[in-house]
Structure 1
């Protein structure tokens, strides 16, 4: 599975002790759907039933938004 996610930031995020969870660990988002990027907020739960080999697009990069299959990721604008 893969998904198209729009990123708007142009630089790094600095993480510190305040970013640690109750268990003392820092969880970094890898699904691209977190509202607290680069930190994980649990949004990846929406991806649990995504099929392997399929590319998905979530409306407005929102895990609660409409999810649709797309043919692929268009890199034309880069």
Structure 2
């Protein structure tokens, strides 16, 4: 499964103790859909039924947005 996500930030985000959950851990978003990036807000639950090998785009990069299958993303792109 893959997702196309549009990122607009150009610098790092510093995490500290205030970012810890009740369990003392810090959860970082890896799905790209969290509204509280870089922290996880549970938005990844929307991806549970994505099919293996399919690339998806969520409208407005929002877990509640309409999900569409898109063409393959070329992993071999050179910068």
- TM-score under structure 2 length normalisation: 0.91
1:12 corresponds in structure 2 to 12
Question: 1:64 aligned to 2:64?
Answer: yes
- TM-score under structure 1 length normalisation: 0.92
1:72, distance to aligned residue in structure 2 (A) = 2.2
Moved over 6 A (4+): none
- What is the count of residue pairs matched by the alignment? 77
Q: CA RMSD in A?
A: 1.7
Unaligned runs of 5+ in 1: none
Unaligned runs of 5+ in 2: none
